Chains A and B, each alone.
Chain A
């Protein structure tokens, strides 16, 4: 009589890390940060909203079909951003509850950038076999904190395909533009140097 319950308990315990990995929760104290911030942004695009958006994409346009397919694999996109007027209005302890969830074996940190100005950026990936099942970006600057969570299967190539749709700039164009800007800046610098020599 007890065996079915025992089996259920074992299944539940063995599945719980999987649920925990999928069910990433933003720490509650982030809401308190919003009270201290000069500006806070909360973007919540859950699965139903994403499905709703993808439902309006064309079935005939091959680009939109790709975007639709990509959105179909996402469970949600969440952005929380806080801007402060002074430094020290938040500490890394405030985001520690979130970082504590981004641990191996489910999560792996693929990017960690630290600067002496106090700007820290971390990118975490949730892996499901060979697939990426989620991305978290933590960007902590002295007066700004941004957390982005893309929940669901996605690859960087697929992300770049979003460019040019729904108001998102095309990445290739941005790169070309950045190169163009840097070359025109260099020309301007040369002209200024020539003028100062005269």
Chain B
């Protein structure tokens, strides 16, 4: 039981001890440009640990950053995101609504893996999600769980 607790604690705090990744820099840059503070998500490290072990739908890493009430106008969100997402990312999807919702999906190859970055704002929250996925496994998962009725 103690071992399990130790692993859980390590999984929770190890990400905080690691050097800042590209995702962290992106989140920091968004925070700096908009003056918004990132919302802490408790025990998210455990979720990352579980994903790193079980690889659900071919996902081997997941990063998440949430900003509540970000100081950015929804119509400016896409511009800000385009400005801070650099280094070989391709934007493949952009959905915007007049209500203030905006979803942007970027992708990048990393060896045998694909990195997906989702940046969304829904008026109250801005969310950044980065996933490292194995496309074959994801495609298989999508094909198997495809909704039959369209």
CB within 8 Å of B: which residues of A? 34-35, 37-46, 48-49, 52-53, 55-56, 58, 164-167, 169, 174, 177
Query: 0/1 per residue, B80-100, Cβ < 8 Å to A?
Result: 000000000011111111110
* Smallest CB separation, A146 vs chain B (Å): 13
CB within 8 Å of A: which residues of B? 75, 90-99, 107, 109, 114, 135-136, 139, 142-143, 146, 148, 150
CA A41 to CA B148, docked complex, whole Å: 24
Given contacts A48-B90, A56-B114, A165-B143, contact A39 B107 (CB under 8 A): no
Given contacts A38-B97, A43-B93, contact A56 B146 (CB under 8 A): no
Q: Are A167 and B95 in contact (CB under 8 A)?
A: no
Chain B neighbourhood of A165, CB < 8 A: 139, 143
> Which residue from A39, A49, A55 sits with its C-beta under 8 Å from B96?
A39
CA A43 to CA B142, docked complex, whole Å: 19
CA A15 to CA B75, docked complex, whole Å: 40
Chain A interface main SS type: mixed
Q: Are A41 and B92 in contact (CB under 8 A)?
A: no
CA A122 to CA B71, docked complex, whole Å: 43
Name 24 interchain pairs, CB-CB below 8 A, sorted by A: A34-B96, A35-B75, A37-B98, A38-B97, A38-B98, A38-B99, A39-B95, A39-B96, A39-B97, A39-B98, A40-B94, A40-B96, A44-B91, A44-B92, A44-B93, A45-B92, A49-B90, A49-B92, A52-B114, A164-B143, A165-B143, A166-B142, A169-B150, A177-B148
CA A110 to CA B114, docked complex, whole Å: 38
* Smallest CB separation, A163 vs chain B (Å): 11
Residue on B nearest A41 in the bound complex, by CB? B95
Q: Are A41 and B94 in contact (CB under 8 A)?
A: yes
Q: Are B96 and A52 in contact (CB under 8 A)?
A: no
Chain A neighbourhood of B94, CB < 8 A: 40-44
Q: Are A167 and B146 in contact (CB under 8 A)?
A: yes
Q: Are A42 and B93 in contact (CB under 8 A)?
A: yes
CA A46 to CA B91, docked complex, whole Å: 10
